[in-house]
Structure 1
Amino acid sequence: IEETMANQRDYISRPICNGISVPENKINSLVAEGHGQQILKVLQKFREQNIFFDFKILVKDEIIPCHRCVLAACSDFFRAMFEVNMKERDDGNVTISNLSPKAVKAFLDYAYTGKTEITNDNVEMLFQLSSFLQVSLLSKACSDFLIKSIDLVNCLQLLSLSESYGSVRLFDHALDFVQHHFSLLLRSSDFLEMNFEILQKCLEADELNVPEEESVLKAVLQWTKHNLETRQKYLPNLIKKVRLHQLPEKTLQDFLHSEEHLLKSANCSVIVNDAVTSVQNFSGLFPDARPSTTEKYIFVHKTDEDGENRHTFCYNIKTDKWKELPHTHMIDLPGSSLSSYGEKIFITGGCKGNCYRTVRLHIAEPFHDATDQTWCYCPVSNEFSIASAMKKPRTMHTSVVTLNQLFVIGGKTRGAQETRSLLDVESYNPLSKDWKSVSQLPRGIYYPEASACQNIIYVLGSEVEITDAFNPSLDCFFKYNAMTDQWSELVAEFGQFFHATLIKAVPVNCTLYICDLSTYKVYSFCPETCVWKGEGSFECAGFNAGAVGTEDKIYILGGDYAPEEITDEVQVYHSSRSEWEEVSPMPRALTEFYCQVIQFNKYRDPW
């Protein structure tokens, strides 16, 4: 009886709908597929039937009725008009004078249906109206259409169009096209009509595709003389964008002589004379040569344990060919560090005396007679000279170049084996020939491996110098901002155990990559999330191999699989397509050697 009464109470307490008892807390969700499209169809039908209109667009002599809700939903221009207290909102109409009736109707067709056809005949009209009425999806579609059509005939026109309609995406693509085809454009009459701002942007770009810097200078003169009366005022700014210090001295002297009157009248003589002085005093020390004007190499050097036998090669990245170089007279002490700067190579520090060169043996030396000396090697003249000394002697350090400065990081100074790692960091300006101290490392680091990505230097290493098995773990990861002179310690999970002595850090398209020589794996670092991402594996690599990064590629060279098993193999990783390939082997099998990317102006290429 009690159970029956309870059921009756439960039944009585349920909600009643049209005399039907409905269970509590029961929800039915309705999802109408295609509801949005159905609403659009209904609104379009209202438009076709001329009903429920609440707004008018007045264009030329036509009155075009429409619905406010459709305008506001599709156009930020109309939405803003209806949201604020504008006269047009209250009047129920707006006059548009810069669009044609055809354009407005095309916009309404798109607004009511979400569909339109973009063709060569109507793309500019649609681009104009989508820009003015702030219809972002239509504007992007027009931009994408025009990007696919960029060629030598219309690229300059599209640059102008993108500026008029505020399309950053189209502007960037068109400008990139102009820069990459600049040499071809120079032959066309369109180049002479290029506006000053666009020409200036082109001249600023590293990516400007020209065979030599002299052609940039000739282009500036040609453009200026095409309309000298109005363009002469622009010449000083344009001349400054030409990398005059990358030109031969004779070319600059001839330019001063042949264009003496123009340079004086435009107040440009001082600019060119300063460039002549720079070339005379600092030739080869300017790292800003445009890639298209240079020949790029991988420089490899090793001095054997006896200190007598030296092996020096260069690898032409473009031709995939190696070349053994003549005796370089380079001084590379055990524990020294080597970095390329412009067309020269700087070697810093190291230990004097008969120290072991092999890392495992060098680190265990009872005393490190470190030096503060810096040397400069010029491959163009094959000359070796002494540069300014560092502030502190150091050995087993690392060096890296960024923001036109050479940085030396970590290592140990002169003293007994138990001497702690240096916290001091120094930077060197090859033009002023001055060393200066910058902010110290957050803490000591051994076996430092450094890589520069734009103005950021990443440093990896171990906080332990020697372990029983001589496999110190990779447990230090620092970041240095060369612009703000600030260090920070990064906490990034590597996902597995790494040996500090078996890691190579390289920059690829301004991204930090590490190559693990023990597992044959490659990882990239994301600074935003502070996470390492696996990028694939290479077939094999010896311990103590060399690694360099250039553009979108990583080269891994040589190394050893065992004390008597040294390899000459070279593998290259294409980060853009995540593929490895084997290229020409080195002239000789090497392990524990220096390797650096270096480039020369083509007219100065010694190799």
Structure 2
Amino acid sequence: MAECNTRQRLSEIGHDAVQYFMEKLLFNIYDRFDEQDLTDVTFKLSNPNAMVKAHRLILSAASPYFRDLFRDEKGICPVIEINNIDSDIFEQLIIFCYTGKTFITNDNVERVLKAALILQLEDTVADCGDFIIENISNYSIKRVYALEREIQCATLNQKLFEYETQNFMSVAESEEFLDFDANKLQKILECNSLNAPTERDVFEAVKRWYDYDALGRKQHLQDLISCLRLTQLDTTFLLTEIQTLPGCESIVVNALSWTNCPALRSNLTLKYTEKRGSQTTSNELLFALNIKERENKNIFQYDNDEGVWYKWFDVKITISDFGVIFMDTNFIFIGGSRCGKAINDVSRWNFKTKTFEQLPSMNQPRHSHSVLLLNETIYAIGGKDEHGV
């Protein structure tokens, strides 16, 4: 054998030459498998009965499971029995060792994933996790959580966590969300990329989880509330919705002090003081409402990245000359005229549900007036009443 220092290293060979040779080599290797030529190991499977032949070197290169198996006394045998994997799934995973591809369907993904965990085929495990998440509407989130609990797969856990944070609102509305353990929920709440329209929405989800078993979950509530971005919530909401919860009084005091007394911040203990990376507060959104159309009011949103306006939605409304403000995730329509007559109606159009909700009316009918929001109070200025005054 030549001395090691005379052998050309792979890193010294041109990339293109190596890639071309590797591709040709892999095709030739698969041809040997496809023709069952020069195989040196046979696997005997019983469900159903099958004999699968392969090449030890290829399998040991593809999986630590096979590498350790062939180094063991059991692996010396020309025929090795496999009793914990179905023969059709095993054969698919052997093909993966040659091609890097696995045929995954809704019907077989659980069996493929479980077998890939046994055979330590990390790429197949990742492919199964991706397939489950991408097809979660067909696979059902309930089934995913059941599988997660059964196999305790770190890769699936991570992919499911990414799904939960990116689809938090739909996950929070599911029945399975109510059965989350406190540690799991806390990890989700701590995530800066948690995708929710506002921090109020995150709080409402936590409140729903807590109310499902208030007595049993009381001990976890303070830790969970501490994970909220409390500085993004207004004073009234903090005082009326959060301070009244068990153990949350001091947290709210710290949040209010942080917002209202910046000089005290160095002495305050607050887990999170910045908004989540995925959230945009209402005053950072830029919308335009076309009020000239008779019934369809076009809502346009400005894309900061692209520097362009695009039509976001059409709101059907039969009034004109109204005042409108943007508050939280709602348009508030105030007064206006209907059929030439001033009205005092006030209604809220919700961005998430795209539905109207009637609010308390103004004291007087007004149209062609101005409105503004100042310190959480709405003011209507000028305009005319039903007599044109």
1:274 aligns with 2:250: yes
Partners of 2:91 and 2:228 in 1: how far apart? 49
2:223 equivalent in structure 1? 237
Q: Report 1:209-288 matches (<5 A).
A: 209-227=195-213, 231-255=217-241, 259=245, 263=246, 269=247, 272-283=248-259, 287-288=273-274
Partners of 1:214 and 1:153 in 2: how far apart? 30
2:70 equivalent in structure 1? 82
1:400-449 Cα offsets, whole Å, 9 max, x none, are: xxxxxxxxxxxxxxxxxxxxxxxxxxxxxxxxxxxxxxxxxxxxxxxxxx
Is the 8 Å Cα contact of residues 249 and 279 (structure 1) preserved in structure 2? no
Is the 8 Å Cα contact of residues 60 and 100 (structure 1) preserved in structure 2? yes
Is the 8 Å Cα contact of residues 59 and 101 (structure 1) preserved in structure 2? yes
Partners of 1:573 and 1:257 in 2: how far apart? 36
- Cα displacement (A) at 1:122: 1.5
Secondary structure at 1:129 match in 2? helix
1:183 aligns with 2:151: no
Is the 8 Å Cα contact of residues 26 and 98 (structure 2) preserved in structure 1? no
- Cα displacement (A) at 1:166: 4.2
Question: Please, what TM-score do these two structures have when normalized by structure 1?
Answer: 0.37
Partners of 2:171 and 2:139 in 1: how far apart? 9
- Cα displacement (A) at 1:203: 0.9
1:41 aligns with 2:31: yes
1:206 aligns with 2:192: yes
1:338-362 Cα offsets, whole Å, 9 max, x none, are: xxxxxxxxxxxxxxxxxxxxxxxxx
Q: Which amino acid aligns with 2:32?
A: V
- Cα displacement (A) at 1:185: 3.1
Partners of 1:120 and 1:204 in 2: how far apart? 32
Partners of 2:170 and 2:59 in 1: how far apart? 45
Partners of 2:304 and 2:64 in 1: how far apart? 46
- Cα displacement (A) at 1:78: 0.5
Cα separation, partners in 2 of 1:234 and 1:101, compared to 1, 3 Å: farther
Q: Which amino acid aligns with 2:250?
A: D
Sequence identity percentage: 23
1:349-377 Cα offsets, whole Å, 9 max, x none, are: xxxxxxxxxxxxxxxxxxxxxxxxxxxxx
Partners of 1:107 and 1:100 in 2: how far apart? 11
Q: Which amino acid aligns with 1:217?
A: F
1:318 aligns with 2:308: no
Is the 8 Å Cα contact of residues 95 and 102 (structure 2) preserved in structure 1? yes
Cα separation, partners in 2 of 1:233 and 1:62, compared to 1, 3 Å: farther
1:66 aligns with 2:53: yes
1:393 equivalent in structure 2? none
Question: Please, what TM-score do these two structures have when normalized by structure 2?
Answer: 0.54
2:299 equivalent in structure 1? none
Secondary structure at 2:287 match in 1? coil
Secondary structure at 1:66 match in 2? strand
2:4 equivalent in structure 1? none
Partners of 2:91 and 2:308 in 1: how far apart? 60
Partners of 2:199 and 2:374 in 1: how far apart? 15
1:128-167 Cα offsets, whole Å, 9 max, x none, are: 2223212244334334433432449735754775784746
- Cα displacement (A) at 1:236: 3.9
Is the 8 Å Cα contact of residues 88 and 94 (structure 1) preserved in structure 2? yes
- Cα displacement (A) at 1:201: 2.3
Secondary structure at 1:43 match in 2? helix
1:540 equivalent in structure 2? none
Q: Which amino acid aligns with 1:66?
A: K
Is the 8 Å Cα contact of residues 245 and 276 (structure 1) preserved in structure 2? no
Q: Which amino acid aligns with 2:66?
A: F
Partners of 2:22 and 2:250 in 1: how far apart? 73
- Cα displacement (A) at 1:109: 4.3
2:140 equivalent in structure 1? 154
Partners of 1:219 and 1:32 in 2: how far apart? 52
Q: Unpaired segments of 5 or more residues in structure 1? A: 1-29, 264-268, 298-315, 322-570, 575-579, 584-600
Is the 8 Å Cα contact of residues 55 and 92 (structure 1) preserved in structure 2? yes
Cα separation, partners in 2 of 1:43 and 1:247, compared to 1, 3 Å: closer
Q: Which amino acid aligns with 2:36?
A: F
Is the 8 Å Cα contact of residues 89 and 111 (structure 2) preserved in structure 1? yes
Is the 8 Å Cα contact of residues 231 and 255 (structure 2) preserved in structure 1? yes
- Cα displacement (A) at 1:81: 2.7
Q: Report 1:458-537 matches (<5 A).
A: none
Q: Which amino acid aligns with 2:228?
A: V
Cα separation, partners in 2 of 1:61 and 1:242, compared to 1, 3 Å: same
Larger-gyration structure (1/2): 1
Is the 8 Å Cα contact of residues 206 and 291 (structure 1) preserved in structure 2? yes
- Runs of 4+ with >6 A deviation: 30-33
Is the 8 Å Cα contact of residues 57 and 65 (structure 1) preserved in structure 2? yes
Partners of 1:79 and 1:55 in 2: how far apart? 15
2:109 equivalent in structure 1? 123
Is the 8 Å Cα contact of residues 61 and 67 (structure 2) preserved in structure 1? yes
Q: Which amino acid aligns with 1:187?
A: E
Aligned pair count reads 275
- Cα displacement (A) at 1:247: 3.6
Q: Unpaired segments of 5 or more residues in structure 2? A: 1-19, 263-271, 290-301, 310-326, 330-372, 377-389
Partners of 2:222 and 2:76 in 1: how far apart? 54
User: Pairwise CA RMSD of aligned residues?
Assistant: 4.5
Partners of 1:213 and 1:90 in 2: how far apart? 61
Q: Which amino acid aligns with 1:182?
A: F
Partners of 1:152 and 1:43 in 2: how far apart? 35
Partners of 1:119 and 1:243 in 2: how far apart? 40
- Cα displacement (A) at 1:88: 2.4
Is the 8 Å Cα contact of residues 43 and 80 (structure 2) preserved in structure 1? yes
1:264-284 Cα offsets, whole Å, 9 max, x none, are: xxxxx2xx1212322442225
